[in-house]
Amino acid sequence: MLSSRATPRGLRCLRHIRSFSAAPRAQLEDVYIVGAARTATAKFLGSFKDTPAPTLASHAIRAALARSTLTPALPSHVYLGNVLSAGLGQSPARQAAIFSGLPETCEATTVNKVCASGLKSVSLAAAEIQLGHASCVIGGGMENMSLVPRYLPRAPPGYGHIQAEDGVVKDGLWDVYNSVAMGNCAENTAKKLNITRQDQDEYAIESYRRAKAAWDAGLFDEEIVPVEVPQRKGPAALVKEDEEYNAINVTKIPTLRPAFLKDGGTITAANASTLSDGASALVLASASLVAAHSLQKTRVFARIVAAADAATHPIDFPLAPTLAIPLVLKRAGLDIADVARLEVNEAFAAVGVANERVLGLDRSKINVNGGAVALGHALGSSGSRILVSLLYALKEGEFGLAAICNGGGGATALVVQKL
């Protein structure tokens, strides 16, 4: 019952609220992925060491759009993940959009959700279309860890040495809440779940084996866009292959020293992902745009079924996907048994093992062509990179799930159905 002391203005506001809440809700638009591409993932200080992230992303955007068969005039917004933006210049996503040939009327937003930035960017792009705000949006991510600067304080002390900080560590690989490296957080998870060094080494070796088998079989060829990199002398180099998977002697993996805990540590340089450079992009379209342009025949044509984010204690970030995955499955109306393939980012082998154990996942369905341990982990791109790889691996009618943890204790997950 309304209070007898309600003012006329309050009554008018109440009637407005009731009128608004009683209005019929618009139907959410279905969202489809109609194009996807990624650059190769180069090693730290490898082939892309002098190629800025926005330039890498421009190649991925251009290729994804060409594969969609849509014209550059159609996308109205670009969302790109990027974690280490220092020194890149204003609005890295805007740079990538313009460098790719999109019109200057196409807006762009740079997204930083640490390792989940690329996948979150796709989720944000999908939401614009779902709400009817756009009919074509691009999502993806980019990172060049090789070009990240070291930092000096703006106001140095009057006397004595000045300590430079590595931007990769400070803004990408450091847990600010516990003041430890991300690897120490993963060590904490390994200890909590009794994940041994052998468990992690075996997982890493399998990731390398799957990646090499996939490359040998040509399974990555379709998703990669070759990038020409100018050289000081001679013709430009054409970079079209991931660089990490062939750069290790797997027989030496069990002999390496722990990287984060000297005594009793289980995580090494080999069973953790590597610093990397790369970019990835996906073109999203509404149902009406798909129908108008007959996009059902594109190679990666798929429906975005659901997306979800979840978070836990920052030190437990490796376990955040164990919260996001059940949530996205609930939103999709699916059980884990309905999912044909999963891509779960391998920030560390311990992350893969932990999520398998907690959720009871079938390893034969996860990262079937290798993961970040073997393929590399270009932070801002990794979330969208795993989605690109998932789409090219799925068969018609199959459901796929991509999930990735991020520093600070978060995770993002997304379910698609290949059509």
| CB 375 within 8 Å of CB 244 | yes
Q: For residues 48 and 63, what is the distance between their CA atoms, to the nearest angstrom?
A: 18
| CB 109 within 8 Å of CB 77 | yes
In angstroms, the Cα distances linking 195 to 202, 258, 267, 270, 349 are 11, 14, 10, 16, 10
The residue among 311, 346, 313, 308 whose CA lies nearest residue 326 is 308
**Active-site entry in 115, 133, 161, 185:** 115
3-state secondary structure of 129: helix
Q: At which residue do the structure tokens 């079209």 appear?
A: 240
Q: For residues 19 and 29, what is the distance between their CA atoms, to the nearest angstrom?
A: 24
Q: For residues 397 and 393, what is the distance between their CA atoms, to the nearest angstrom?
A: 12
Tokens of 329: 């499955």
Q: For residues 169 and 84, what is the distance between their CA atoms, to the nearest angstrom?
A: 10
Greatest C-alpha distance within the chain: 86
> Known catalytic residue: 377?
yes
| Type of residue found at 418 | K
Please list, in sequence order, all residues whose beta carbon lies within 8 angstroms of the beta carbon of residue 176, skipping any fewer than 6 positions away.
none
Phi, psi for residue 246 in degrees, rounded to 5: -100, 5
| CB 77 within 8 Å of CB 127 | no
> Known catalytic residue: 185?
no
> Known catalytic residue: 405?
yes
Q: For residues 397 and 263, what is the distance between their CA atoms, to the nearest angstrom?
A: 49
The residue among 142, 39, 126, 75 whose CA lies nearest residue 378 is 142
Tokens of 357: 């154990």
Q: For residues 252 and 300, what is the distance between their CA atoms, to the nearest angstrom?
A: 38
Name the β-bridge partners of 406: 410
Q: For residues 141 and 54, what is the distance between their CA atoms, to the nearest angstrom?
A: 9
Tokens of 63: 């290729």
Q: For residues 76 and 286, what is the distance between their CA atoms, to the nearest angstrom?
A: 12
Please list, in sequence order, all residues whose beta carbon lies within 8 angstroms of the beta carbon of residue 170, skipping any fewer than 6 positions away.
151
Task: Give the catalytic positions in this structure.
Answer: 115, 377, 405
